[in-house]
Amino acid sequence: MADTDEAAIHMPSNDSAHIDTDLSDETQDFRMLNHLTFLTDGSQGNLPKRGEKDFEPNPTLFQADILSASRQAMHNALAYPRLHHPRNQVIGIYAPDGPAPPSVAQAPKQMDTVPEDNDTQPQQPEDTTATAGDADAGPPKAAGTEMGVPAESCVYVTNPKGQYFKTIGRADRWNRVWLLPEEALYLLERGSLDIRWPISSTGCSGESETADSGIPMSLQAAYACFLGHGGLNMERFSVYTGLRRLGYTLVRAPGWYDDADEGDCSAEDAQTQSRQGPGLAGVFGRFMQWLSDSPSCPVAGPLVGLGIHRSYDDIYRKLSIIPWHDPTAPRSESRPTSPPFRVVFHVYKPSTPFRKSAPPPADFRIAVVNARETAVPTLAQMSALLESTPLDPPKGVKMDRVLSLRLRQGYRSVILAVVDQGVVSYLRVADSAFGKEKLYKLQGPKPNQKRGPPRPRAKGR
Amino acid sequence: MNAEPNLPIPISYTAGSYFIFSIDAVTYLRREHHICGVLSGTLPQIPQQNVFLGLPLELMAEEARLLVEKGVACIVDEVNVQTDGMKALMEADRQRYLQELQAQGTQVMQMQASRKEQQREEALKKIEEKKAAQAAKKKASQPPPPPETPATDSTTKDDEAVVGLFAGDRKQQQQQGPDQSSSRRPSTAIASHAMGITPATSHSLLPLEPSAQHKLPLPAVPSSYPLFAHLHSEGYFLSPGLRFGCQYLAYPGDPLRFHSHFLVVSTGWHEELDLMEIIAGGRLGTGVKKGFLIGGADETTSDLESREADDVRTFSIEWAGM
Amino acid sequence: MTTKTPTKPPQPSALTNLIAASPSTSAPSDPLAASTLQILHNLQHQHLWTSLQTHEIELPVPKKDTPSSSASPPASSPATTTTTTTTTTTQYLISGIPPHHVYIHPDEQLYMLQRGLRETDIELERLFVLPAVQGQSWSLARLAAVFDSLPGGEGRPAASAAAGTDIEGSEGDKAAKLAEYYEYREKASLTKEWGGKRILLAMVDRMMGGDGTVVYYIVQEGAVKPRQN
């Protein structure tokens, strides 16, 4: 027990079992943060090790001191300000009424503190070209704007510098980058964007021509302005920031909008299918399949009846009378997905080259579920959700060789992000095709080879 | 850190969630009322990780409700507070606020500059020491003095100074005011040399007291609230239980320092209880060195009025090991 | 102790004997009674419990269920539905003495450790077992009623302390420590410092595909901190 005496507590409890656990699993001891010197730049990346915790409180002074030190460290870490050095300050203007062209006769303005005329033009050529390209090529995601930016955008940035704008925001033809609520809130929260209230939202007389009131928006105000705007709720935002912080790129999927049909997904799907069995060969193959599958009328007689059976395969094939689900079979009609079981984010790994103007096929698709409001999905909901994702059969040398990997990979997959009051759990659900894996066609297991138990259909992560 | 915020603490209600943005309120609620919430924001100093998170603090509806019932907090319609507050903002307020921010920004800038200077000096000193040590090493094989320690010391000190500037009692800050701080360092306080600041709260811009029209009624809570309140009253710290597949995790002390004791699931008094759930919960709890606790409000007394607020029965389940 | 295993093959199995000898179970068709016997058998022969007894308690049927399931209580136990206001169902309990301590509260363990007492020094106690079948309908109210029907809560018997000291009479020091322990235990049972009432939940898997495995879980009233081993 921990509370026998003070000396016992000084001994670090031996819980090597915990080393493998995810650090973000439980509340961390913020004292560990003291070892980081925040203001020295470039020291990011190496996180402190997990702190030791005790089993239960005891009346010792030692424990009380540690607790108070932990709380002090947490207080200090949380009190750390969001600062913007004038050299790389990025300013966004809040546009509560959505995207609008700049007010008449507005030249690039000198903001209160930032000399940014020289910033807008020459800096970071790849950014400006990329964003300029977006303005022409990017199809408007939702109706309502002829500016080429999503209608839910609510902040624009006139001096988009920094790496974030490679994956965030959409430019209009006035070289302003418009941000969606989650993008604006994320950038403000991480201290990378200084958002200003527009003069129109304040009671101040608009004697100046700028839209910018110069009043920096607080974190508190930003949450009030952006959460609940354009379909953004805290669950979706938790998923967005959680993955952004780890370096993933997230964009809204069509399923974000409750009323949207998921046209583009099925189009994607059709593409992959036509890739599979094209032309005559495909037809011939299907014909051959039909021939070999043609029923031997099990009602009339024994399953494996008359005829010459040259191999066990023939017999096994005749024995397999139970229908099974083939994820690759073309669907007659797609079932509509029902919120919240629909893909709301397309996610790209940090290593995936991403262009805003032409996003590649997503690495992951995520549906966001509120743990408090939603029960376990029905099979119909789950199937519809999986069918809304493109066919992604297991491929690769390793997959070809290992049965369990194929089953785990599945033919379609989706990630469920279950959110309980800020705590997020991710589950991967895959459509495995057990029926496609003809065990009898595999070579018999070598006598000494250990075979693992079959994998469950949906593999949680 | 031991600041007492003005009561009741406003809890921001936005898009169905409850938030606290004031660091003083966060530490106060944790220390005095065992309410921890979940930190859900990005820490600006280390933004690319999920281990340590920052403001805002997201509260469960149960936590918000408990605080309101205790008279410690009130629920505020944050969206309207912001929009109405900004509409009511006068030019004079705007100027005062901007000056205040600018003074702070200038101060931070100067602190950073002086720290850089200090670092530079220390680096130079270190090089000299190194040279001296090498020279000494040549003469006699003496180990060089341990380096670095002074440098790290000073940086943490500076960090604390910057943090202190923002964490400190707000009243003090206001007393200090923009005029004083700027007059203290009049020579370098030029506009372009101030750090831009995104404040965590709107406290110094909008009125501190939320007006009656922005106050919201008691938060709606799930049926597990009686159990939540019961365990909280017994001194447990409670947090959302999703990670262990339960409703709450119950900690015997501050989760900063203690492991949780229980995986908690609430059930209705007459609600059908599948024994498999008990077995599964008990097995899971034992696997992670925790107990599995089920409980709910005792509804034997059918009269709602006479029923005690704390009429909750709980049962702890552990694998028997046989 | 009935550790002897049936040596002669033609002898009927203990379970058969049990079912035949059991006074109240004229209806082995009652799944609860049958599983109670199965668990009793498991306790006796697999876990080597002794002095086993079965008990019957009456549990109130949930109020909201009363109108719909008014037909079911007579089917299970026709003789006992005498009360007019609330209907009840019969629940079996088993009690017995395990060969070793099944549960010791962590603080109790610490207390013993500090005084150099071992588990084997402490007298074994009768423990109640709640037999249950998978799929059986339970509720918090029902569980609470089971606990309310248990004896205890007014202090664990001090009489056993005397018996304990007699056995350990050779070591005077240990006897004193034991006496101290029993005294403190009595106090602790009032303050619930070492946990409140406890019961062993035994569940047998008799559903489709069930193999008759019996699993045992300790259920205690109140929030009792978990053991750390």
Q: Render pLDDT for A204-227 as a digit per residue (tens, 0 to 9).
A: 765 556 667 788 999 999 999 999
- Bridge partners of residue B198, in order along the sequence: A82
pLDDT at B254 over 70: yes
For A64, phi and psi rounded to 5 degrees?
-60, -40
What's the mean pLDDT in A335-363?
89
- Alpha-carbon torsion (A250, A255, A258, A260), positive or negative: positive
- CA distances to A37, A204, B100, B150 from A85, in Å: 18, 27, 17, 27
In this structure, are B136 and B183 located in the same domain?
yes
* Tokens matching residue B268: 């209705």
Percent of chain C with pLDDT over 90: 15
pLDDT at A124 over 70: no
Nearest CA in chain A to B241: A420
Q: Can you give the pLDDT at residue B161?
A: 55
Burial C25-45 (b: 16+ CB within 10 A, else e): beeeebebbbbbbbbbbbbbb
One-letter amino acid for residue B207 of the chain: P
Q: Can you give the pLDDT at residue A26?
A: 60
Whether residues B274 and C222 touch (CB distance < 8 A) is answered with no
Q: Give the pLDDT band (50/70/90) at residue B309.
A: low
What's the mean pLDDT in B41-49?
90
**How many angstroms separate the CA atoms of B38 and C89, rounded?**
45
Of B212, B172, B205, B199, the residue nearest B8 (C-alpha): B212
C229 within some domain: no
What's the mean pLDDT in B19-28?
93
For residue A201, the number of C-alpha atoms closer than 13 Å in the C-beta half-sphere is: 25
- CA distances to A91, A200, B83, B211 from A204, in Å: 20, 8, 13, 21
- CA distances to C43, C46, C212 from C50, in Å: 8, 11, 22
Interface of C with A (CB under 8 A): 106-107, 109-110, 114, 225, 228
In this structure, are B114 and B141 located in the same domain?
yes
Whether residues C138 and B250 touch (CB distance < 8 A) is answered with no
What's the mean pLDDT in A13-38?
50
What's the mean pLDDT in C25-50?
78
Whether residues B23 and A79 touch (CB distance < 8 A) is answered with yes
What's the mean pLDDT in C33-55?
88
In this structure, are B66 and B212 located in the same domain?
yes
**How many angstroms separate the CA atoms of A239 and B139, rounded?**
62
Whether residues A1 and C225 touch (CB distance < 8 A) is answered with no
Distance in Å, alpha carbon of C158 to nearest chain B alpha carbon: 26
Q: Can you give the pLDDT at residue C67?
A: 39
Whether residues B256 and A70 touch (CB distance < 8 A) is answered with yes
* Tokens matching residue C169: 């009479």
Q: Give the pLDDT band (50/70/90) at residue A301.
A: low
B269 touches A82 (CB < 8 A): no
Distance in Å, alpha carbon of C139 to nearest chain B alpha carbon: 5
Q: How many CB pairs under 8 A join A and B?
A: 303
In this structure, are B75 and B210 located in the same domain?
yes
Distance in Å, alpha carbon of B103 to nearest chain A alpha carbon: 13
Which chains form contacts with chain C, at 3 or more CB pairs under 8 Å? A, B
Of A331, A410, A336, A338, the residue nearest A367 (C-alpha): A338
**Residues of chain B neighbouring A210 (CB-CB closer than 8 A):** none
Number of folded domains that form chain B: 3
Q: Give the pLDDT band (50/70/90) at residue A11.
A: very low
A247 phi-psi bin (left φ>0, alpha ψ -120 to 50, beta other)? left
**Residues of chain C neighbouring B286 (CB-CB closer than 8 A):** 226
Q: Give the pLDDT band (50/70/90) at residue C13.
A: low
Query: Which residue bears the tokens 């020295």?
Result: A40
pLDDT at A410 over 70: yes
Interface check B243 vs A, CB under 8 A:
yes
**How many angstroms separate the CA atoms of B278 and A123, rounded?**
62
* Tokens matching residue A88: 């790389």
**How many angstroms separate the CA atoms of B288 and B106, rounded?**
51
In this structure, are B69 and B213 located in the same domain?
yes
Whether residues C110 and A4 touch (CB distance < 8 A) is answered with yes
For residue B49, the number of C-alpha atoms closer than 13 Å in the C-beta half-sphere is: 17
pLDDT at A383 over 60: yes
A212 touches A93 (CB < 8 A): yes
What range does the domain containing B8 cover?
1-89+206-221
The number of beta carbons lying within 10 Å of the beta carbon of residue B115 is 19
The number of beta carbons lying within 10 Å of the beta carbon of residue C112 is 19
- Please state which of the ranges A232-246, A275-289, C183-197 shows the lowest mean pLDDT: A275-289
Among the partner-chain residues A215, A219, A418, the one whose CB lies closest to the CB of B200 is A219
Q: Give the pLDDT band (50/70/90) at residue A179.
A: very high
Q: Can you give the pLDDT at residue A274?
A: 42
**DSSP tally for chain B: helices H, then strands E:** 8, 13
Q: Can you give the pLDDT at residue C22?
A: 55
A390 touches A265 (CB < 8 A): yes
Q: Can you give the pLDDT at residue C170?
A: 56
Whether residues C139 and B319 touch (CB distance < 8 A) is answered with no
In this structure, are B215 and B68 located in the same domain?
yes
* Tokens matching residue B321: 């090991």
Q: Give the pLDDT band (50/70/90) at residue A285.
A: low
Chain B residues 265-304 with a CB less than 8 Å from chain A: none
Interface check B322 vs C, CB under 8 A:
yes
Distance in Å, alpha carbon of B138 to nearest chain A alpha carbon: 34
* Tokens matching residue B188: 């370098």
Q: Give the pLDDT band (50/70/90) at residue B229.
A: very high
- CA distances to A322, A403, A430, C160 from A434, in Å: 12, 10, 12, 62
- CA distances to A335, A347, A385, A411, C42 from A382, in Å: 11, 19, 5, 14, 42
**Residues of chain C neighbouring B252 (CB-CB closer than 8 A):** 225
Mean pLDDT of chain C: 73
* Tokens matching residue A126: 């790849």
**Residues of chain B neighbouring A421 (CB-CB closer than 8 A):** 38, 58-60, 240, 242
**How many angstroms separate the CA atoms of A323 and A326, rounded?**
9
Which residues, in sequence order, are CB contacts of A378 under 8 Å at separation 6+? none
Q: Can you give the pLDDT at residue B92?
A: 83
Asked if B251 is an active-site residue, the reply is yes
What's the mean pLDDT in A78-87?
87
- Alpha-carbon torsion (B167, B169, B170, B176), positive or negative: negative
First-last CA distance in chain A: 34
Q: Can you give the pLDDT at residue B212?
A: 80
In this structure, are B169 and B316 located in the same domain?
no
- Please state which of the ranges A145-154, A248-257, C118-127 shows the lowest mean pLDDT: A145-154
Give the tens place of pLDDT for each residue, C147-167. 998 886 554 554 444 444 454
Q: Can you give the pLDDT at residue A280?
A: 58
**How many angstroms separate the CA atoms of A303 and A315, rounded?**
9
B198 within some domain: no
Nearest CA in chain A to C226: A55
Give the tens place of pLDDT for each residue, B100-141. 888 888 888 888 888 888 888 888 888 888 888 777 767 665
Give the tens place of pLDDT for each residue, C80-117. 333 345 677 888 899 999 999 999 899 888 888 888 88
C8 within some domain: no
**How many angstroms separate the CA atoms of B317 and C178, rounded?**
29
Distance in Å, alpha carbon of C224 to nearest chain B alpha carbon: 6
Question: Active-site residue among B70, B137, B193, B259?
Answer: B259
> Which among C45, C85, C139, C140 is the top mutation candidate for probing chain B, defined by the most B β-carbons within 10 Å of its own β-carbon?
C140
Question: By three-state DSSP, how is residue C10 classified?
Answer: coil
Among the partner-chain residues C109, C114, C225, the one whose CB lies closest to the CB of A56 is C225
Q: Give the pLDDT band (50/70/90) at residue A19.
A: very low
For residue B216, the surrounding DSSP H or E stretch is: strand B215-216
Mean pLDDT of chain B: 80
**How many angstroms separate the CA atoms of B14 and C95, rounded?**
55
Domain parsing of chain A, residue ranges = 28-79, 86-232, 263-276+325-441
Q: Can you give the pLDDT at residue B179?
A: 39
Most confident range, picked from A316-320, A361-365, B88-92, C206-210: A361-365
**How many angstroms separate the CA atoms of B208 and B10, rounded?**
9
B243 touches B84 (CB < 8 A): no
* Tokens matching residue A103: 């007010």
* Tokens matching residue A112: 């209160």
Q: CA geometry: angle at A65 spanning A59 and A66, to 5°? A: 105
Whether residues B48 and A79 touch (CB distance < 8 A) is answered with no
In this structure, are B242 and B170 located in the same domain?
no
- CA distances to A406, A432, B196 from A390, in Å: 17, 14, 45
Q: Can you give the pLDDT at residue B189?
A: 39
What's the mean pLDDT in B153-161?
48
Strands A364-370 and A413-420, sheet pairing: parallel
Q: Can you give the pLDDT at residue A282?
A: 59
Distance in Å, alpha carbon of B202 to nearest chain A alpha carbon: 6
Question: By three-state DSSP, how is residue B56 classified?
Answer: strand
Q: Can you give the pLDDT at residue A119?
A: 39
C155 within some domain: yes
Whole-model pTM: value is 0.77
Interface check B154 vs A, CB under 8 A:
no
A454 touches A421 (CB < 8 A): no
A167 touches A194 (CB < 8 A): no
**How many angstroms separate the CA atoms of C76 and C79, rounded?**
9
What's the mean pLDDT in A250-265?
73
**How many angstroms separate the CA atoms of A456 and A460, rounded?**
9
What range does the domain containing C216 cover?
28-220
Whether residues A56 and C228 touch (CB distance < 8 A) is answered with no
Cis peptide preceding A390, ω within 30 of 0: no
The DSSP code sequence of C96-111 is EE-SS-S---HHHHHH
Among the partner-chain residues C142, C147, C223, the one whose CB lies closest to the CB of B234 is C223
Instruction: Tell me the three-class secondary structure of chain A, residue by residue.
Output: CCCCCHHHHHCCCCCHHHCCCCHHHCCCCHHHHHHCCCCCCCCCCCCCCCCCCECCCCCCHHHHHHHHHHHHHHHHHHHCCEEECHHHCCEEEECCCCCCCCCCCCCCCCCCCCCCHHHHCCCCHHHHHHHHHHHHHCCCCCCCCCCCCCCCCCEEECCCCCHHHHCCCEECCCCCEEECHHHHHHHHHCCCCEEEEEHHHCCCCCCCCCCEEEEECCHHHHHHHHCCCCCCCHHHHHHHHHHHHCCCEEEECHHHCCCCCCHHHHHHHHHHHHHHCCHHHHHHHHHHHHHHHCCCCCCCCCCCCCCCCCCHHHHHHHHCCCCCCCCCCCCCCCCCCCCCCCCCEEEECCCCCCCCCCCCCCCEEEEEEECCCCCCCCHHHHHHHHHCCCCCCCCCHHHHHCHHHHHHHCCCEEEEEEEECCEEEEEEEECCCHHHCCHHHCCCCCCCCCCCCCCCCCCCC
* Alpha helix ranges (H) inside B70-90: 78-87
Asked if B259 is an active-site residue, the reply is yes
**How many angstroms separate the CA atoms of B109 and B191, rounded?**
11
What's the mean pLDDT in B166-186?
40
Chain B residues 2-21 with a CB less than 8 Å from chain A: 12, 14-17, 19, 21
Number of folded domains that form chain C: 1
pLDDT at B83 over 60: yes
> Which among C217, C218, C220, C229 is the top mutation candidate for probing chain B, defined by the most B β-carbons within 10 Å of its own β-carbon?
C217
A215 touches A196 (CB < 8 A): yes
Residues in chain B: 322
B252 within some domain: yes
Whether residues A1 and C106 touch (CB distance < 8 A) is answered with yes
**Residues of chain A neighbouring C114 (CB-CB closer than 8 A):** 4
B204 touches B97 (CB < 8 A): yes
Q: Can you give the pLDDT at residue C69?
A: 38
What's the mean pLDDT in A347-360?
89
B199 within some domain: no
pLDDT at A241 over 90: yes
**Residues of chain C neighbouring B321 (CB-CB closer than 8 A):** 102
Distance in Å, alpha carbon of C171 to nearest chain B alpha carbon: 32
